[in-house]
Amino acid sequence: MTYDVEVGRDAYGEDKASKVIYLQHIRPLFDMLGVCRFPWVELRVDPTLYAEAYSAIVGREFSLENLLTCSERVWNLTRVIAILRDGIDVKDDSLPARDFEDPIPEGETKGFRIDKEKFMNLLRSYYRLRGWDDRGWPTREKLIELELEEAAEKLYG
Distance of CA 15 to the CA centre of its chain: 13
Contact between residue 69 and residue 146 where contact means Cβ atoms under 8 Å apart: yes
Number of H helices, E strands in the chain: 9, 0
pLDDT given for residue 147 in this prediction? 98
Number of separate domains in the chain: 1
What's the pLDDT score for residue 150? Answer: 98
Q: How far is CA 92 from the centre of its chain?
A: 15
CB atoms within 10 A of CB 132: 19
Residue 41: the pLDDT is: 81
Please report the pLDDT score of residue 4 as a whole number. 46
Helix, strand, coil content of the chain in percent (nearest 5) = 65, 0, 30
Nearest CA-CA partner of 88 in 96, 79, 76, 97: 79
The predicted pLDDT at position 8 comes to 53
**Residue numbers in the chain where pLDDT is lower than 50:** 1-5, 7
Residue 5: CB atoms within 10 Å: 9
User: Which CATH number does the domain housing residue 145 bear?
Assistant: 1.10.599.10
Residue 7: per-residue pLDDT: 47
pLDDT computed for residue 37 by the predictor:
85
Closest CA to 120 of 139, 141, 134: 134
Written as one string, the DSSP assignment of 81-133 is HHHHHH---GGGGS--HHHHHSPP-SSTTTT----HHHHHHHHHHHHHHHTB-
> Position 157: which residue type?
G
Q: Show the domain range for 38.
A: 2-156
